[in-house]
Amino acid sequence: MKKSLLFLLLCCLSLTAAAQSRFGEKPRLVVGIVVDQMRWDYLSRYYDKFTNDGFRRLIDKGFSCNNCLINYVPTITAIGHASVYTGTTPAFHGICGNNFYINGKKTYCCADNTVEPVGSDSEKGKMSPRNMVATTIGDQLRLHTDFKSKVIGVSYKDRAAILPAGHSANAAYWLDLKNRCFITSTYYMDKLPKWLQEYNKKLTKDKDFKKLGEDIGLSPRCGAIITDMAINVLQHEQLGKGDQTDMLCVSYSQTDLIGHKYGTRGQNTDEAYLELDRDLGRLLKALDSQVGKDNYLVFLTADHGAAHNWQFMKEHKLAAGPWKSGEMKERVYNAISNDIGEDGGYIGDIMDYRIFLDWEKIQEKGLITANMEQHILSELEKEPDIQFAAIYKDLANSSLPPVIKDRALMGYYPGRSGDLIFFPKPGYYEFGSWSSPTGTTHGEWNPYDAHIPCLFYGWHVPQGATSRQVSITDIAPTVCQLLHIQQPDACTGEAITEITK
């Protein structure tokens, strides 16, 4: 009996010691990678063509969540980047699109006139994360370590560097295409570090960059520049070399620009992902060298997917088609004019499958807003290519299918998201603003836009996969649990227990 009790006591002490040891353990570096407009099925489509050093290394030796979905609409770049790192949706972090309205004024998601550009004189430098109202993984990491951890974001797009890095980041760097250099804003610093000034000098002399100019985003060469920059940040800022965990946020945007122009099929898209695979291999090798193979944690995901080109679909007898906001706006305009006997131009904007009313004009005419919303809703429901529509303030009581209603609610931030939302039929998407005749776009709830890759690799990540449904908002709490730090302050996601157990 005594021996049994002693054995149980030793087991308990061993488990307690193991738990305490696990809490004390931490990776030297966390690397978050977002691939703009990457569909989940690209992992299998290109698997046999990938090298062993890039995507396949993450897939074969890491953990893949094969059923990761975006749980809000619209599925847009800025929203996706914010949601990955805050662990929540626009309803809580406030980033409702690349552009949205604040106090009736159309606002770019990262625009900030209180700051100045650093590294050039471009207006593109007047950016910050101030419009985002929630904290990120990096913010929580900085808080946990009394701001000793370094957190830095890097991307072609300003929003893809700024929003992931968060409010308290040490830096966020993005490309100024006009001046062919990386820049930042006075939100982070007053001048660029010397190493970046030297790197920028090399960039301005880069013949390929100079030749491509503002079309660099349509070239796989863009991914190489972002990778080079990430490796420079890693080395010159000595990430992963200190006493506390650091974080590097990297976003690849060329895949989005190439997709908008050339679509989800064809040589250009193929080249983009195979070149990205090689860039990922270079980045992982740099991490091995700088931090050590077992000392860093990586996650890779996307901000959204993309629809197949509608003409490509129709050629193969699949339902699809173009939807043009300008034409619909005119039809609704005329219908309202006939109904109420007044000038019907009360729609201020149509953006990301949402309608923004012109409140000033409505109030000036003394019209009742609720009546105007109902008029527009009735017209939307007559549109042949629109499957569902609703008034935002009536969403909770609407007859929308629950899967769509929930995503619309999670994407709605009062005062920023507009007044009505609508959903085109599957395969139909807005044509003309962000897509070429051969290209594609995104923004809807459907799997082609909402099913994204979600890979974890490295420190304490088991090898394997799950088909259990998880959400884009589950990434942040998973990382935070692995780091044993508090989740971001508006986090609504849940840790993926297959990884954190």
pLDDT digits (tens, 9 = 90+) for 240-253: 999 999 999 999 99
Q: What is the pLDDT of residue 19?
A: 41
Average pLDDT over residues 155-179: 96
Mean model confidence pLDDT for the chain: 91
Q: Which candidate, 77, 62, 135, places its Cα nearest to that of 298?
A: 62
Residue 40 to residue 271: CA distance in whole angstroms? 17
Does the structure show a pLDDT above 90 at 358? no
Residue with more model confidence, 7 or 235: 235
Q: What is the pLDDT of residue 340?
A: 62
Interval 87-97: pLDDT, tens: 999 999 999 99
Q: Does the active-site annotation cover 77?
A: yes
Does the structure show a pLDDT above 90 at 163? yes
When pLDDT is cut at 50, 70 and 90, the band that residue 342 belongs to is low
> Within 10 A of 26 (CB to CB), how many other CB atoms are there?
20
Strand partners, 273: none
Q: What is the pLDDT of residue 379?
A: 87
Q: What is the pLDDT of residue 367?
A: 73
Q: What are the structure tokens assigned to 494, written together?
A: 């849940």
Interval 273-310: pLDDT, tens: 999 999 999 999 999 999 999 899 999 999 999 999 99
Q: What is the pLDDT of residue 410?
A: 98
Catalytic residue, candidates 75, 77, 136, 255: 77
When pLDDT is cut at 50, 70 and 90, the band that residue 216 belongs to is confident
Nearest-10 crossing angle of helices 475-483, 137-144: 20
Does the structure show a pLDDT above 80 at 5? no
Does the structure show a pLDDT above 70 at 20? no
Q: What is the pLDDT of residue 14?
A: 46
Interval 133-147: pLDDT, tens: 999 999 999 999 999
Q: What is the pLDDT of residue 10?
A: 47
CA pseudo-torsion sign 364, 366, 372, 375: negative
What is the Cβ-side half-sphere exposure of residue 25, based on CA atoms within 13 angstroms? Answer: 14
Q: What is the CA radius of gyration of the chain?
A: 24
Average pLDDT over residues 319-330: 82
Residue with more model confidence, 161 or 378: 161
Q: What is the pLDDT of residue 21?
A: 41
Residue with more model confidence, 328 or 94: 94
Q: What is the pLDDT of residue 328?
A: 77
When pLDDT is cut at 50, 70 and 90, the band that residue 124 belongs to is very high
Q: What is the pLDDT of residue 189?
A: 98
> Within 10 A of 430 (CB to CB), how many other CB atoms are there?
22
Q: What is the pLDDT of residue 115?
A: 98
| Most confidently modeled range among 4-13, 351-360, 424-433 | 351-360
Interval 437-478: pLDDT, tens: 889 999 999 999 999 999 999 999 999 999 999 999 999 999
Nearest-10 crossing angle of helices 254-262, 221-236: 170
Does the structure show a pLDDT above 90 at 406? yes
Q: What percent of the chain has pLDDT over 90?
A: 76
Does the structure show a pLDDT above 60 at 18? no
